[in-house]
Amino acid sequence: MFMTVEDQALNTEFLEQGYVIRPVADQAALDWIRDGFVALAEEALGRKSDLPPEVFLNHIHEQVPVPQLNDFRLRMIRGINAADALRENYYKLARTYLDALVGNELAMQLRVNLSIQFPDDDSSLLPVHADTWSGDSPYEVVVWLPLVNCYGSKAMYLLPANEYAPFDRDFVRLQGSSSEEVYKSIENKVKWLEIDYGQVMVFNQSLPHGNRINAEPETRWSMNCRFKSVFTPYGDKKLGEFFEPITLRAASRLGMDYRYPGTGK
Ligand SMILES: O=C(O)CCC(=O)C(=O)O
Ligand SMILES: [Fe+2]
């Protein structure tokens, strides 16, 4: 492979583990996103906070009642996605890693998702799944961003690539089992992805992953967004509907627009 040594190492790590965790590639973009959430949450609560941002976000469950959590989360997602700079800032967090792992002509999901998981709350859990089981293309990767430090059950888990083969062999037998049974079958193989604010993760969403009840005393805030190389096959999520090209290069623009002489408009 004609890749730099660094790019090769990153690719090998991603293939072997199914994920990479690295410092964000753009600290200003990260702070812009977190400050945005603090401002949106203050607006939703109708008061300013004098707490440091990480304390404010980690303890938001002390200010938002559980029955209002979903509305609160939707308000946060709408608010942050309404800012024109969001997607470019989100891309900048992982640009160098995406370049190395996916390519430099990318399609990005139109809407960036947000998870908020209160301690001991079971209302917003994602049972074990792979995104490809519900129509995502295996050419997609997820860029996952913690807005607070995530550890223990406040983190998400993933079945590492090197543990996948037995799961694959057992999958047919597991069909008809509950998500809980599927989880139990891999419980001692999954990796809990400890990751701090200031880091970003890229993971292979075709590996089984999910989360459990957050038994830590702090709220988890994390974002996720899918990226793929623009000319790779699409699943149910199509270009123009769900994905949009963000870094098309001149040669591709020319190719897409090309008409043989005399046949074009
Ligand atoms: O954030 C999580 O716990 C799971 C995220 C997830 O399933 C995804 O981004 O595809
Ligand atoms: Fe997922």
Whether ligand 1 lies within 6 angstroms of the CB of 115 is answered as: yes
Cα distance between residue 219 and residue 226, in whole Å: 23
Q: Whose CA is nearest to atom 8 of ligand 1?
A: 224
Confidence of residue 175 (pLDDT cuts 50, 70, 90): confident
Q: What is the mean pLDDT of residues 37-66?
A: 97
51-65 tens-digit pLDDT: 999 999 999 999 999
Question: Helices (H) and strands (E) in the chain — how many of each?
Answer: 8, 10
186-to-100, 113, 178, 227, 258 alpha-carbon distances in Å: 30, 26, 13, 27, 50
133-to-65, 174, 206, 236 alpha-carbon distances in Å: 33, 14, 8, 11
Q: What is the mean pLDDT of residues 228-248?
A: 97
- Which residues are 22's β-sheet partners? 200
Amino acid at position 212, single letter: R
Q: What is the mean pLDDT of residues 41-50?
A: 97
Cα distance between residue 201 and residue 57, in whole Å: 20
Q: Is 232 exposed, middle or buried (0-12, 13-18, 19+ CB in 10 A)?
A: middle
265 pLDDT higher than 70: no
1 pLDDT higher than 90: no
207-232 tens-digit pLDDT: 999 999 999 999 999 999 999 999 99
Amino acid at position 164, single letter: Y
Lowest mean pLDDT among 12-21, 98-107, 209-218, 253-262: 253-262
Please tell me the predicted confidence (pLDDT) of residue 45: 97
- Which residues are 115's β-sheet partners? 222
Q: What is the mean pLDDT of residues 99-119?
A: 97
**Ligand 1 mutation pick, 142, 191, 213, 226, max ligand atoms within 8 A of CB:** 142
% residues pLDDT > 90 (the chain) = 95
225-to-108, 111, 200, 251 alpha-carbon distances in Å: 8, 7, 12, 27
CA triple 37-99-97, angle to 5 deg? 55
Amino acid at position 256, single letter: M
Please tell me the predicted confidence (pLDDT) of residue 263: 86
DSSP 233: P
**Ligand 1 mutation pick, 124, 129, 140, 156, max ligand atoms within 8 A of CB:** 156
Q: Which atom of ligand 1 is nearest to the CA of 117?
A: 3
CATH of domain 5-244: 2.60.120.620
% residues pLDDT > 70 (the chain) = 99
